[in-house]
Amino acid sequence: MLDRFATALLRPAVTAGARGLVRAGVGANTVTLAGFALGLCAAWLIAQEHYLEGALVILLSRLCDALDGAVARLTQPSDAGGFLDIALDFLFYASIPLAFAWADPVANALPAAVLLAAFMGTSTSFLAFAVLAAKRGMVNTQYPDKAFYFLGGMTEATETLAFFVAMCIWPEAFSGLAYWFAALCGFTVLTRLWWGWQTLRADPQNLP
């Protein structure tokens, strides 16, 4: 829901940083891998109950996630790079609830499991529509820089990042925050299913 606004706000700084990386000879895939490595480091820190340090590394990881696309656009975007980016992003998102469950299994295991199940719903509805949109040549003009059809919703990357940081600042509130965010993810899944179903049914290429 907030990704478009966050992207527009950060675009000048991200573009400037990407130009510096390009001048230094750093490729987009390298930035993607660095961001994923930082994300795993953040998960490890959280699992060890170093929550504030984990929040800082999460932010650095997501900075890399913003930079890799900008670097790709300044050089040579590729389908392979887009695939690597989205696949590693979903693995990162799954690692954070798992880390909180590891840190305190008694208190956090169930809410982490519920949140991971909600993430499964948002990711599958997102990717399933992207596959069919690509098959039909559909383009989302609201997200023209994405490597695939980006289906928005109430819980996008910006909201997920905000909840992850809040969980790190108030780890004792992880359970409540996880249930709330899972509920928001559930609403996103329902809206995506409804919108996707209606859109594909209305498309003249839809087969009976």
Tens-place pLDDT, residues 140-174? 645 555 555 556 667 788 899 999 999 999 999 99
Q: Select the more confidently predicted residue: 3 or 196.
A: 196
The answer to whether residue 150 sits within a structural domain is yes
Domain that holds residue 123: 3-202
What is the Cα Rg of the chain in Å?
18
192 against 48, higher pLDDT: 48
**Tens digits of residue pLDDT in 69-93:** 999 999 988 889 989 999 999 999 9
What CA–CA distances, in Å, run from 206 to 64, 178, 200? 38, 38, 6
Domain membership of residue 108 (yes or no) is yes
Is residue 208, in this structure, part of any structural domain at all? no
Closest Cα to residue 168, out of 37, 58, 94?
58
Distance CA 73, CA 188 (A): 29
CATH of the domain at 60: 1.20.120.1760
Instruction: Kindly state whether residue 9 falls inside one of the protein's structural domains.
Output: yes
13 Cβ contact list (under 8 Å, min separation 6):
none
More confident site: 139 or 52? 52
Q: Give pLDDT, residue 207.
A: 43
Reading the block at residue 180, the tokens are 């709330």
Mean pLDDT computed over 32-54? 98
Tally of domains in the chain = 1
Is 98 a domain residue? yes
Contact by Cβ (8 Å): 143, 4 = yes
CB 86, CB 148: distance < 8 Å: yes
Residue 6 has pLDDT above 90, yes or no: no
Q: What percent of the chain has pLDDT over 90?
A: 67
In a domain, 207, yes or no: no
Q: H-helix or E-strand containing 102?
A: helix 79-103
d(CA 146, CA 199): 20
Whether residue 2 has pLDDT greater than 80:
no
What's the pLDDT score for residue 138? Answer: 75
Average pLDDT value over all residues in the chain = 89
Look at residue 102 and tell me if it is in a domain: yes
CA atoms within 13 A on the CB side of 197: 6
Residues 6 or more apart in contact with residue 106 via CB below 8 angstroms: none
Residue 206 has pLDDT above 50, yes or no: no
Q: Which pLDDT score, from 0 to 100, does residue 208 have?
A: 38
Write out pLDDT tens, residues 91-132: 999 999 999 999 999 999 999 999 999 999 999 988 888 888
For position 149, what pLDDT does the model report?
59
Please check whether residue 63 lies inside any domain of the structure.
yes
The pLDDT value given to residue 111: 98
Mark 67-77 as b/e (b = at least 16 C-beta within 10 Å): bbbbbbeeeee
